Amino acid sequence: MVRTLLWILAAVLLGGIVHLSTVLAMPQAAKQDAYSRLAPLTQVNTMVPLAATKAGAEIMPFMDPAFAAAVCRYDLSGGPLKLIAPVSQAYTSVTFYTRRSVAFYAINDRAAGRRTIELDLMTAAQHAQVPEDEEVTAADRLIIESPTAMGLIVLRALAPEPGLMPMARQALAAATCRI
Amino acid sequence: MRLLFGSCFTLLIAAALGLGATWLTLTRGVAFGALTIGAWKAWPKSGSADIDPYARAMVARTGELPTGMGDGVAFYARTDDVGNGFDGRCTFSISGMTPTARYWTVTLYTPEGRLVANTIDRHGFTSEEIVRDNDGRFSITVAPLARSGNWLPTGGIEQFVLVWRLYDTAIGVATRTAKEGPMPTVERKGC
């Protein structure tokens, strides 16, 4: 009797370990995550506008159809990345995701405070190499540290009414990201 | 012999328990630290580097990109205020006020996060295009058949999800109560 109970206890403990390790391994094992879905549609270190979110043609689940979006799939192994995005009339935001879809930084046009959003994206090691005086003189230069060398930058511009969608798409078309 | 039987039994139970728990938590959407206001639930931390392991696994499995914390916050509703599940063959009314935000959008999805095709190409509303009363309040009718005013078509699907996204808002991790963020009421009107 006691022996059976011990076996069951061992099973429950082991089950807990299996559960936790599968949850933790899921981001690495997932084949259909956002990065994998966007990889065939985008080029590395290039800003690519995404097709409009339409019923039956969604690239990712739960996308906001009121927004035009553009994606820069980055790889910082060649050096820091410079992102320049003109602000649309209504609302523009930039969100940075790691290779595993973790949104590590997001900023909107008002927080950026200018007509164009200008950001430098680099790894911690590249940031350490930026000369200190350069960082001070370029006070208006916003430096974002990426926890991973690869990831996604998603630029979103709101079309407050469906008729304003071409304007939102046009604002995104002028955005660039390059090494 | 007994040892062999015992360990096989233990390993089998462990695998079933562990994988079963993972499958349940990831498909049912168990995530911690939800901010609940009426029928609406948001996970502001999922839009930051502090995202918990369950939300991280769920996002990787579904392939979505969570709304970043500096961008806005997304509230999900799957039922009305008293817990009736969203059925696309019924009529629901959404009315009242929203928390302060520069813009908001409300969108209707299938439970998997896809849009529902309809003839008028209407999948949601933005704060700019919605028709309001004189006092600034609004009312949206979510129904399978056309209605006057702000009609959001369900396409008659069995289950749907509403997502209310607030952009450039103070609502987030620090929000605790509904007083700070009055979300619209959701009511079933008939089936």
State chain B's maximal CA–CA distance in angstroms.
Answer: 81
Rounded CA-CA distance A169/A65 in Å is 13
Identify whether the C-beta of residue B159 lies closer than 8 Å to the C-beta of residue B111: yes
Q: In terms of domains, do A169 and A142 share one?
A: yes
Please measure the distance between the N-terminal and C-terminal CA atoms of chain B and give it in whole angstroms: 61
> In a structure prediction context, what are the per-residue pLDDT tens digits for chain A, which is 179 residues long?
788 888 888 889 999 999 999 989 988 888 899 999 999 999 999 999 999 888 888 999 999 999 999 999 999 999 999 999 988 888 999 999 999 999 999 999 888 777 888 999 999 999 888 877 665 555 567 899 999 999 999 999 999 999 999 999 999 999 999 98
Query: In the structure, what pLDDT confidence band is assigned to residue B7 with cuts at 50, 70 and 90?
Result: confident
Please measure the distance between the N-terminal and C-terminal CA atoms of chain A and give it in whole angstroms: 67
Identify whether the C-beta of residue A106 lies closer than 8 Å to the C-beta of residue A95: yes
Strand order across the beta sheet in which A67-75 lies: A47-49, A67-75, A150-158, A92-98, A103-108
Take residue A168 and report the two structure tokens written for it: 């939102």
- Closest CB from B49, B102, B167 relative to A102: B49
pLDDT value of residue A131: 79
pLDDT value of residue B72: 93
Rounded CA-CA distance A81/B117 in Å is 39
- Closest CB from A55, A67, A102 relative to B56: A102
Interface residue of B1, B71, B152 to substitute, partner A, most A CBs within 10 Å: B71
Q: Are the Cβ atoms of A11 and B105 closer than 8 angstroms?
A: no
Which CATH number fits the domain that encloses residue A135? 2.60.40
Full domain range(s) for residue A1? 1-30
Q: Does the predicted interface ipTM exceed a cut of 0.90? A: no
pLDDT value of residue A145: 92
Q: Which fold has domain B33-190?
A: Jelly Rolls (2.60.120)
pLDDT value of residue B67: 94
Q: Are the Cβ atoms of A160 and B47 closer than 8 angstroms?
A: no
If you average pLDDT over residues B152-179, what whole number do you get? 86
Long-range own/partner contacts, residues A52-59 (CB < 8 A, 24 or more apart): A52/A165, A52/A169, A53/B115, A54/B115, A55/B114, A55/B115, A55/B116, A55/B117, A55/B118, A55/B123, A56/B114, A56/B115, A56/B117, A58/B113, A58/B114, A58/B115
pLDDT value of residue A1: 79
Residues of chain B positioned with their CB less than 8 A from the CB of A106:
47, 67-71
For residue A15, give how far its alpha carbon lies from the nearest alpha carbon of chain B (Å): 4
Residues of chain A positioned with their CB less than 8 A from the CB of B62:
32, 61-62
Q: Across the strands, what pairs with B143?
A: B153
Q: Are the Cβ atoms of A19 and B16 closer than 8 angstroms?
A: no
Q: What 3-state class would DSSP assign to B54?
A: helix
C-alpha separations of B105 from A111, B65, B75, B165 in Å: 20, 17, 10, 5
Q: In terms of domains, do A89 and A40 share one?
A: yes
Rounded CA-CA distance B154/B75 in Å is 19
C-alpha separations of A69 from A32, A60, A65, B185 in Å: 19, 12, 10, 30
Q: Are the Cβ atoms of B49 and A147 closer than 8 angstroms?
A: yes
For B144-162, the pLDDT digits (tens) are 998 888 999 999 999 999 9
Rounded CA-CA distance B62/B69 in Å is 20
- Closest CB from A24, A108, A152 relative to B71: A108
């109560």: which residue's tokens? B177
Q: In terms of domains, do A73 and A152 share one?
A: yes
For residue B111, give how far its alpha carbon lies from the nearest alpha carbon of chain A (Å): 9
| DSSP type of residue A53 | -
Q: In terms of domains, do A26 and A40 share one?
A: no
Q: In terms of domains, do A131 and A51 share one?
A: yes
pTM for this prediction:
0.90
Q: In terms of domains, do A1 and A47 share one?
A: no
Q: Across the strands, what pairs with A108?
A: A93
Residues of chain B positioned with their CB less than 8 A from the CB of A161:
126, 128-129
Q: In terms of domains, do A8 and A41 share one?
A: no
Counting the structural domains of chain A, the total is 2
Q: In terms of domains, do A142 and A172 share one?
A: yes
Residues of chain B positioned with their CB less than 8 A from the CB of A87:
none
Query: In the structure, what pLDDT confidence band is assigned to residue B63 with cuts at 50, 70 and 90?
Result: very high
Q: Are the Cβ atoms of B103 and A160 closer than 8 angstroms?
A: yes
* Domain boundaries defined on chain B: 1-30, 33-190
